[in-house]
Structures are given as structure tokens and as C-alpha cells.
Structure 1
Amino acid sequence: MPVSNTSLIERIARVIAGRVVSINADGSDPSAGDRVDSVWPDYREDAVSILKTLREPDPAMAEAGDLGVWQRMIAAALADAGEDVAS
């Protein structure tokens, strides 16, 4: 499995930024790459909120895999971003 060199928080924030600014989604910029590069930090807290929501898998996710591994992976991503894992 490939492993990204970019943090999960940054990748999620970049996706949100892309949806906001790119003409291919809800934005108006036809070439949004540079803009995404500059504004993704504005969406960092949104990314953290999404990750905190994902700490609790739904029933289909729980059935598909190991809950302990899932929770440790999400906790690691949050800790890597300097977030309090308990909150």
C-alpha cells in the first residue's frame, strides 16, 4: 500500500480548499492549484473536525476491520497535527 508523505490533516484541508476555490467544484478558479497551495491552511480546523468525527466508525466500518487499529491510526493523525487526541 502506498504511504503519503503529506499529513492526513493537510490532505483533507487541501481537498476542502479545492472544492471551495476550483471551478471543477463550487469555486470559480479554472486553475486552482496555486490558490489551493496558499489557502489550504485556512481549512485545517475543518480537517481536524472531520478526523475527530471519524474516530468512531459506523457499523459497516466496524464490521470491515479492526476497531483498535482504526482508532490508533486516527489518534496518530491527530497527534501528528498537534491535536489533543482525547477531545
Structure 2
Amino acid sequence: MPMSELPLAERIARVLAGAALSKNADGSNGSAAKDVDDHWKDHLNQAMAVLHTMREPDHLMAEAGDPQVWTRMVEAAIQDAE
């Protein structure tokens, strides 16, 4: 199973930065990689809000696996980012 080298909060913040900056989403930059590298921390508070929301699995997620494990994993990501 592949595992990321980057913390989950950073990955979410990078996605949010990319969405804000990239021409492929809401931004105007045709090549936003450098800007994402420079500005992902500006989106860390939004990433933390996403993580806090993700702590509770929904019904389908709970059916697919252990909801307590999910909650502990997301809480670990939150603690890592704090």
C-alpha cells in the first residue's frame, strides 16, 4: 500500500492552494506548482477545518471499515498538524 511522505494536513492545504491558484480550478495561473509551494501554509487553517469535519465517518464509511480506527487516524493527523 502506498503511503505519502507528506502529512495529511499539508496535502489537503496544497490541494486547496492549488484550487485557489491554478487555472485548472478557480485561479488564473497556468503553472501554479511554485505558487502552491510558496502559499500552501496560507490554507492550513482550512485544511484543519476539513480534518476536524472528517473525524466522524458517515454511514457508508462505517460499513466499509472500523469507524474507531478511522477516527483515531484522523485525530492523529490533527495532532501532527497542531
For normalisation by structure 2, the TM-score amounts to 0.97
Deviation at residue 40 of structure 1 after TM alignment:
0.4
Q: Who is 1:67 aligned against? A: 67
Question: What percentage of residue pairs aligned between the two structures are identical?
Answer: 55
Q: Who is 1:6 aligned against? A: 6
The letter for the 1-side match of 2:33 is G
In structure 1, C-alpha distance between the alignment counterparts of 2:72 and 2:55, rounded to whole Å: 9
Q: How does 1:1-87 map to 2 (within 5 A)?
A: 1-82=1-82
In structure 2, C-alpha distance between the alignment counterparts of 1:67 and 1:32, rounded to whole Å: 36
In structure 2, C-alpha distance between the alignment counterparts of 1:15 and 1:27, rounded to whole Å: 12
Deviation at residue 68 of structure 1 after TM alignment:
1.2
For normalisation by structure 1, the TM-score amounts to 0.92
The letter for the 1-side match of 2:12 is I
Structure 2 segments unaligned to the other structure (5+ residues): none
In structure 1, C-alpha distance between the alignment counterparts of 2:48 and 2:32, rounded to whole Å: 23
The letter for the 1-side match of 2:4 is S
What whole-Å deviation, never above 9, does each CA across 1:14-52 have from its counterpart, x for those lacking one?
000000000011100001000000010000000000000
The letter for the 1-side match of 2:32 is A
Considering only aligned residues, what root-mean-square deviation do their CA atoms show, in Å? Answer: 0.6
